[in-house]
A and B are shown apart, each in its own frame.
Chain A
Amino acid sequence: MRKEMMKIREITSIALCLAMLCVSSYVSIPLPFMTTPITAQTIMINTIALWLTPAQAMTTMGAYLILGLIGFPVFAGGSSGISVFLRPTGGFLIAFFISVGVISGLKKRFPQKLGSNIFLTVGIGMPIVYFVGAFWMSILMEIDFVVAFQLSVYPFIVGDLLKCLIACRLVERLNGTMKQRSVFIKRKLV
């Protein structure tokens, strides 16, 4: 019974993060000095990577991608379907899946504090997303990788840095709040 209860809590925590990921795709914050608004999707993706275990994080991202594939309007701007992946920017969704797995897997080797979280998201997560996304774009549009990298990465570096910092701060506050209120998802069963 204990094992089954843990399973239920694990699945419900994944469902919660999945719901928050879907909601975050609709949230955008326009900034005065940028032409493209900051979307909360990347914030939530990094939060999920830092907050859940590797299996849970990758399950959440996988479920998110599957939901979008079968037609739920969960991707940025309410888009859905396989056409999202056939776009030049579709590779970034796959890159997020890889990035979540790597960040979530590596965070065990680092102490759980703000500095190491920032290093994981900015130093490891962002390069993975950029390279995989640019690689996908270069293949799909049959252009040079360097050109694709310039098109898809340079305008977004500042915004993504801000999003990673927000995600690290959010996880830090979330861990504190959850411990304080004794509603942490992975708490021990009595």
Chain B
Amino acid sequence: MMKKLWLGRYIDGSSVYHAFDPRSKLVMMVLNLLMIICTVNWEQLLCVTLFTFSLLCLSKIPFSFYLRQAMFLKYMYFFFLMFFTLTEGTTFLLKIGIFRVSLDGLWIGAFYVTKMMLFVILGALLTFTTSPGEIVAGVRTLFKSPSIERFAFMAGLSIRLIPMILEEVKLIYNAQQSRGLDFSELRLQDKFKKLLSIIIPAISNTVKRLMMMIEAMECRGYVVGEQRTSIYRLQFRMRDVCLLVYGILVLAIVILL
């Protein structure tokens, strides 16, 4: 369950958007965020929406995946819609006690909710089409500096540690269950105590494995922050240029509208 939540975020495929350079996708995400932030009227929003859907079509991932991702925030959308409907605008459709329902507020709320949905969908587009390792490699090569190198190492190590921790927790949970632990029958206080009996061995064992990994890396000559070559080679091609030009053009159009 938890493993699926993390590892299942990347959807493997052979679409055009999957094949783009990770650096291009990162820059494209920044361009998209700039577009959404600059959007202040409905013409601009329509332009950004069409652009977003063109990218979604390139990725060849079903729209239901993106909608499911966007619907994580459905309560937030409803809250915003109600908030703007009841507090903004001057043309009131009807009055119910202290509440005033206005058409202007409804439009303003729909505008902001659409922008929020676009934010979420564009974030999902990056994570659906780019594996975590590729994102880290893209960040490392976009900014070449020792601190970014350390951050990339830290992030890459963290990404590899997550499945290890989940595996360790599952192992210890099964071991405790085989010794008679049953979470559903415990009182609240006992539940927390038993939770600690799972967390602490998991962390301790992970630290031990981490120490062994550190020793192995040092034996292989690793030094933090020093210049190294990379086995993963990112290739910037003509289609990446086309993608970036496309994004910049749409950004210019959105700003000019």
Contacts and interface: CB of A to CB of B under 8 A. Distances in A.
A104 to B, nearest CB: 18
Given A16-B161, A183-B208, A81 B119 contact: yes
Interface stretch (A17-25, A93-101, A114-122, A153-161): A17-25
A108 interface: no
B155 interface: yes
Contacts of B76: 87
Contacts of B132: 72
Nearest to B208: A183
Contact of A63 (B9, B154, B188, B223): B154
Interface in A1-37: 4-5, 7-9, 11-16, 18-20, 22-23, 26-27, 29, 31
A102 interface: no
A181 B201 CA distance: 11
A83 interface: yes
Interface stretch (B39-47, B209-217, B242-250): B209-217
B175 interface: no
Contact of A16 (B126, B196, B207, B223): B207
Secondary structure type dominating chain A contacts: helix
Nearest to B122: A81
A35 B195 CA distance: 21
Interface of B: 2, 5-6, 9, 26, 29, 33, 72-73, 76, 83, 116, 119-120, 122-123, 126-127, 130, 132, 135, 139, 150-151, 153-155, 157-159, 161-162, 164-166, 169, 188, 191-192, 195-196, 199-200, 203-204, 206-208, 210-211, 213-214, 217-218, 222-225
7 contacts: A11-B150, A11-B224, A13-B210, A15-B157, A20-B203, A23-B165, A71-B123
